Amino acid sequence: MKNEKFVFLILHYQAINETIKSANLILEKYKNYDFNIIIVDNCSPNKTGQILLEKYSNNEKIEVILNNKNLGFSKGNNIGFKYAKSKLNPDFIIMMNSDIYMIQDNFLELISREYQQSHFAVLGPKIHLPQNKINYIKSEVRTKNEIKKRIIELVKQYVATLFFIDKKESKKKINSNNKNINKSKIYNAVIHGCCMVFSKRYIDLFDGLDEKTFMYGEEELLNIKLKKSNLLSVYAPELEVFHNEDSSTNEISKSNRKVKLFKLKYMIIANIKILHELGK
């Protein structure tokens, strides 16, 4: 991995403690590597973007970018992705949520090793969650019929929530305590959006993620794009991170009902966009 350049791209929204912890872990663990951190503040109403800008103003490793409005997940990340691509010329961009914590000292070395073997365009690690759970990784994009059923279910949940109807969500459990889950490498996997590693093969062709959705659905849209472009995605469980999930989304509103309506709205939109892409 001689002379390889890494860029960590962190999308920040309000949850400043998570962002600082995430950045500090990177600074501590990878000080012997050639890397930079880009923090993109997605116009946090609590002004924490400005706090981060001032905090890291004298740190040559960290660049803080302030968006003038909340652009959503894909567009927000793409601001940082384009900056990294044009200004830093990285070999790898590690796009990560602000509540992703690095737990491996050799994480960057493992990225380099995997690239030498598979020449991936996008790489995904094993994602550890609170309560000793592990995030489930899908090997394929859902079928059209599965997506249609999901849209119907989401609409029902949205209406029920909107009118205060007590309706429990019926969906497949995506997290698991099963320690055997996803132990093997998966090629052409649907890489989870909380942490994705992009190689030069992807960076040279694209300026980030598909911007069809505000949030949710990015993983499946990315998988569709990769297959159409004959590019490889790899899930490599030897790479590991910890995800303190939903910290940014939960900052949107202190009302559980408002949070649920927000999530459901953009899940519906994302599923419709995925269905459209599959139909092309």
Averaged pLDDT for residues 257-280: 91
For the question of whether the overall pTM of this predicted structure is more than 0.85, the answer is yes
- Domain-by-domain residue ranges, the chain? 6-142+169-278
Least Cα distance to 269 among 279, 258, 257, 277 occurs for: 277
Q: Which CATH class is domain 6-142+169-278?
A: alpha beta
Averaged pLDDT for residues 249-264: 72
Mean pLDDT score across all residues of the chain = 90
Contacts of 119 (CB under 8 A, 6+ apart): 199, 201, 232
Q: Model confidence over 4-13: pLDDT tens digits?
A: 999 999 999 9
Exposed, middle or buried: residue 243 (CB in 10 Å: 0-12, 13-18, 19+)?
Answer: buried
Q: Model confidence over 105-163: pLDDT tens digits?
A: 999 999 999 999 999 999 999 999 998 888 888 888 999 999 999 999 999 999 999 88
Least Cα distance to 191 among 236, 242, 238 occurs for: 236
Least Cα distance to 42 among 21, 7, 11, 87 occurs for: 11
